[in-house]
Amino acid sequence: MIQVSELSHHFTIGKKDTYKEIPVVQHVNFQVEEGEVVSIVGRSGSGKSTLLHLLAGFMQPIEGRILLNKTELTAMNEEQRAQFRLQSLGFIFQNFQLLPGLTAYENVEFPLVLMGIEEQERKVRVDEIMERVGLTSVGPHYPNELSGGQQQRVGIARALINRPAIILADEPTGSLDSETEKDILMLIQSLNQKEGITFIIITHDEAVAQAADRTYTMHDGQLIGGERL
In the chain, the number of structural domains is 1
Residue 172 placed within a domain: yes
Residue 17 placed within a domain: no
User: Residues in the chain with pLDDT < 70?
Assistant: 229
CATH number of the structural domain spanning residue 93: 3.40.50.300
Residue 75 placed within a domain: no
Cα 170 to chain centroid, rounded:
6
Query: Of 39, 76, 42, 36, whose CA–CA distance to 56 is shortest?
Result: 76
Judge if pTM exceeds 0.85.
yes
What pLDDT score was predicted for residue 229?
Answer: 62
Dihedral-angle region of residue 76 (phi above 0 means left; psi in -120 to 50 means alpha; beta otherwise): beta
Residue 27 placed within a domain: no
Strands ordered across the beta sheet of 2-13: 20-32, 2-13, 63-68, 71-72
Structural domain of 220: 33-60+83-228
Residues ≥6 apart with Cβ < 8 Å to 152 = 92, 96, 172, 173, 175, 176, 180, 184
What is the per-residue burial (b if ≥16 Cβ within 10 Å, else e) of 75-108? ebeeeebeebbeebbbbbbbebebeeeebbbbbb
What pLDDT score was predicted for residue 184?
Answer: 87
Residue 167 placed within a domain: yes
